[in-house]
Amino acid sequence: MERTVKDRSLAMRLQRSLTRAATALFLAAPLAAQSPDLELTCRPEHALPDQRQERPSDVRDHTPFATYYLFDNPQLFEVRVGLMNLGTQPRALPDTWVRSLHLRVWRDGVEMEPDEVRIEPARFLRSSLVFLEAGKPVAHAEFRSNPTGPGPLPLMPYDDSRREEREVKALPSALATYEQAVVLFRLRAPDGGFLPLGLYEVEVTDQASHERCSHRDLVVMRAAQSPLDTVDSYLVRSLALEADGKLEQAAQEMARATEAAPDVLKGWVIRSGLALVRKDLQGQAEAATQLERLLARKAGGNSEEFEGIVQDAREVARNAPELRRKLAAKEGAKP
């Protein structure tokens, strides 16, 4: 199944700048003493990045950019490990690469023994950066070295780019420029059941090359402790469903989220984005109207929510009157 990686913000925009895309990937999880042409990246697959104005006390001492929230979703505990070619020419990928990857796991600060956690490959993916000109993929991509950045520069003309990903049965034997081989590791209890809730740290090492991701990722897997936690626990499931193309089920999860925590801006912002993608005018109008009311009530108050969500909420709320007019006109036109 092919998937286009989309921006999760309100507008669902694809990244348009090659430099921004390469830099973001480079900063996300750089290698220690890595080959200049290869980049190893590691992160939890479904967990949410840490974007909170006030961090919970049990994660406050951990690095924010390496903290992720999974909450009460142990069934979605997977770790994505990718190897990207940042050279100008194709690079061979050994068929032993997956077997050379070693994951160490800590729960609540104590390292887990091999017989306490089952770690096994769940899926393989190929991720490619596609360059576009006039909306069509560029047939032959060529590159030159970039002396000032983390990746090579394209020589051919293009006006846009996007990252495309597809699931494969086996990884390729070689990686093209900006192509990434990805393996998703599933973490389970020894009997195949779900791991107990807790604070999990994960470290990944490529034993063949003696390279590793430069930090341990902290996965917060615990019961919700605030209304924002409640929304995020539903959001984790919603995003997993959306990634599988199940938009209706994803929207249902976010509807449950706003029912459980109706005063959290984030839930309504995500509902608005899903309604927009699904062309659900009634859902857009409802979300915008609720955000309009919440923002009026919360004006001047402190918020636990990420500032970017607050900005998105304001943008959606500004459209509320127009969306209500469109909905009224649509309903008035019904026989």
Residues 102/84, Cβ–Cβ less than 8 Å: no
* Residue 250 and residue 195 share a domain: no
CATH value at residue 276 = 1.25.40.10
CB of 35 closer than 8 Å to CB of 41:
no
Domain with 236, as residue range(s), is: 227-332
Determine contact, residues 66/43, Cβ cutoff 8 Å: no
Q: What is the pLDDT of residues 39-58, one digit of tens each?
A: 999 999 999 999 888 888 88
Residue among 252, 250, 327, 314 nearest 285 (CA):
327
Mean pLDDT across the stretch 18-34? Answer: 39
Q: What are the φ/ψ torsions at residue 233 (nearest 5 degrees)?
A: -65, -35
For residues 175 and 236, membership in a common domain is answered with no
> What pLDDT band is residue 300 in, cutting at 50, 70 and 90?
low
| Distance (Å, whole) CA 234 – CA 226 | 13
The whole-model pTM stands at 0.83
254 and 294 both lie in a single domain: yes
Spatial CA neighbour of 272 closest among 255, 256, 294: 255
Considering only the C-alpha atoms of the chain, give the largest distance between any 2 of them, rounded to a whole number of Å.
Answer: 69
Q: What is the DSSP letter of 316?
A: H
Percent of the chain predicted with pLDDT > 70: 87
> Do 217 and 286 reside in the same domain of the chain?
no
Confidence of residue 273 (pLDDT cuts 50, 70, 90): very high
Which residue type, as a one-letter code, is found at position 291? Answer: L
Overall domain count for the chain: 2
Question: Which of 188, 203, 221 represents a domain boundary (last residue)?
Answer: 221
Instruction: Indicate if 264 and 310 belong to the same structural domain.
Output: yes
Q: Span 128-138, mean pLDDT? A: 95
Question: How far is 279 from 281, CA to CA, in rounded Å?
Answer: 6
pLDDT band at residue 149 using 50, 70 and 90 as cut-offs: confident
Cα separation, 238 vs 241, whole angstroms = 5
Only one residue has tokens 């006039």, namely 134
Assess whether 232 and 306 both reside in one domain: yes
Q: Residue 326 has which token pair?
A: 């469109």
Looking at 221, 241, 266, the residue that finishes a domain is 221
> Residue 148 and residue 166: Cα distance in Å, rounded?
31
Q: Does the pLDDT at position 21 exceed 60?
A: no
The verdict on 170 and 268 lying in the same domain is no
Residues 170 and 39 placed together within one structural domain of the fold: yes
> How far out from the chain centre does Cα 137 lie?
24
Residue spans of alpha helices (H) in 44-151: 97-100
289's CB contacts (< 8 A; 6+ apart) are 320, 323, 324
Q: Does residue 243 sit in the same domain as residue 184?
A: no
pLDDT tens for 58-74 read 898 899 999 999 999 99
pLDDT at 334: 60
What's the rounded Cα separation, in Å, for the pair 333 and 65?
Answer: 50
Q: Identify the domain boundary among 159, 186, 221.
A: 221
Q: Do 190 and 66 share a structural domain?
A: yes
Q: Do 258 and 156 share a domain, yes or no?
A: no
**79-115 confidence digits (pLDDT tens):** 999 999 999 999 999 999 999 999 999 999 999 999 9
Asked if residue 54 and residue 149 are part of one domain, the reply reads yes
Q: Which two tokens stand for residue 266?
A: 């984030």
The Cα–Cα gap between 335 and 331 comes to 9
